[in-house]
Structure 1
Amino acid sequence: MNHPFEYEIIYSNRKTLAVQITPDGTVKVRAPRRCPNSTINHFLQEKQSWILKYVNKAKQNPLSEKPPLPPSERNRYIKIARDIFTQKTAYYAGIMHVTYGRISIREQKTRWGSCSSEGNLNYNWRLIFAPEEVLNYIVVHELAHRREMNHSKAFYAVIESILPEYKKAQKWLRDNGRSLWTVV
């Protein structure tokens, strides 16, 4: 089946299909190792309008090429992020009655945060330029994985019990998240 966009398939030990649009508008399909092409084509057909919307958006608003941050400046932002996320994580973990392991601050190109099965948390330092409610959402999202290691209805119910208006933060990230890469 032909699609109005090119894409790359990345097979791994995952259980579900996912599509990723990179900042330059490249489409990547992440698929389970033995996923048939017919299933991938059907998935892409279902997601076609969403994919085209974000591919066009990426091509209309290419990320500006800025010189890399000097290490001292980057380290300063990472320290600020570590302080913010350490405080917010401790605060929300107490409210949610969950534990967590190590907190790492990184610069991930495709993720705002992650939670390992051991409870270690990673946050993207560029989030410090997002609105406060977005930072709160990312922290609560990652801590919710301490109860549900998936993105099920039960998982989102955990988030909603803490942040009833979390969908506004999700929308902000969808609509404005790319801009965090052009701030510095």
Structure 2
Amino acid sequence: MTTLRYLNGYPTELIARVQQLSDRGQLATWVEKKYPGQHSIQDDKSLYQYVGGLKQRYLKNAPALSKVMFDNKQNPVKGTLGTNTFVSRVQGGKLKSNNEIRIATLFRDGPEEFLKMIVVHELAHLKEKDHNKAFYQLCCHMEPDYHQLEFDMRIWLNFRDLK
């Protein structure tokens, strides 16, 4: 029996069902059937364009992004799959602000649905800094299946650990 560390906090009956799939050796089949293939967003430039498109569609009035990139320092074991950084600096008599989004490099090789879910999460932080009700409503506005995708992504992370 393996530990499904990315599912902590979920109801025990859900964890038990995933554990059964894992114990029977069917977790890989389930993940690959539900999320076949890989996306074509493989570099920082295409990631920036992808994020920019989602931002333009859903958050036109949100602050501009200065940088979007894949980051190999983001690690699910440490609890970070992506980060949104806001930095303000005084330059001369002006206040300059930069918004950066960094996405864990492991999402280069994952399904596009999981990449979109992480991007939506980080974009929502442009409007809502805390993980509150308004934050999750905004996530669900941009991606209606947000909560299911987050759960499935956690299963996928466990699957990756087992490989």
Distance change >3 Å, CA 48–CA 106, structure 1 → 2: closer
Q: Secondary structure at the match of 1:104?
A: strand
| SS of residue in 2 equivalent to 1:120 | strand
Structure 1 residues 162 and 122, CA gap change in structure 2 (3 angstroms): same
Distance (Å, rounded) in 1 between the aligned partners of 2:118 and 2:129: 15
Residue of 83, 89, 94 corresponding to 1:114? 83
Go from structure 1 to structure 2 and tell me whether the alpha carbon gap of 1:151 and 1:120 turns closer, same or farther (over 3 Å shift).
same
Structure possessing the higher relative contact order (Cα contacts under 8 Å, 6 or more residues apart): 2
Counting aligned pairs with the same residue, the percent is 21
Consecutive unaligned residues of structure 1, counting only runs of 5 or more, are 1-20, 28-46, 62-78
Amino acid at match of 2:69: S
Residue aligning to 1:34: none
Counterpart Cα distance in 2 of 1:142 and 1:49: 25
**Compared CA separation, residues 143 and 49, structure 1 to 2 (3 A):** closer
Q: 2:109 aligns with which of 102, 105, 129?
A: 129
Which amino acid in 2 is paired with 1:109?
N
After TM superposition, give the deviation of residue 100 of structure 1 in Å. Answer: 1.8
Task: Check 1:161–1:172 CA distance in 2 against 1; reply closer, same or farther (3 A cut).
Answer: same
Contact 1:93–1:143, Cα closer than 8 Å, also in 2? yes
* Offset from partner CA, 1:151-172 (integer Å, 9 cap, x none): 1110011111111111221011
Per-residue CA deviation, residues 103-133 of structure 1 (Å, 9 max, x unaligned), is 2321222221110133211111110222211
| Structure-1-length-normalised TM-score | 0.53
The runs of at least 4 aligned residues of structure 1 exceeding 6 Å deviation read none
Q: Give the whole-Å Cα distance in 1 for the aligned partners of 2:10 and 2:134.
A: 28
- Aligned length, in residue pairs: 117
Instruction: Provide the aligned C-alpha RMSD in A.
Output: 3.0
Q: What displacement does 1:48 show?
A: 10
Q: Which residue of 1 aligns with 2:65?
A: 100
Contact 2:47–2:69 (CA<8 Å) still a contact in 1? no
Q: Is the aligned partner of 1:91 residue 2:53?
A: yes
Residue in 1 aligned with 2:90? none
TM-score by length of 2: 0.59
Unaligned runs of 5+ in 2: 24-40, 88-98
Counterparts in 2 of 1:116 and 1:182: CA distance versus 1, 3 Å: farther
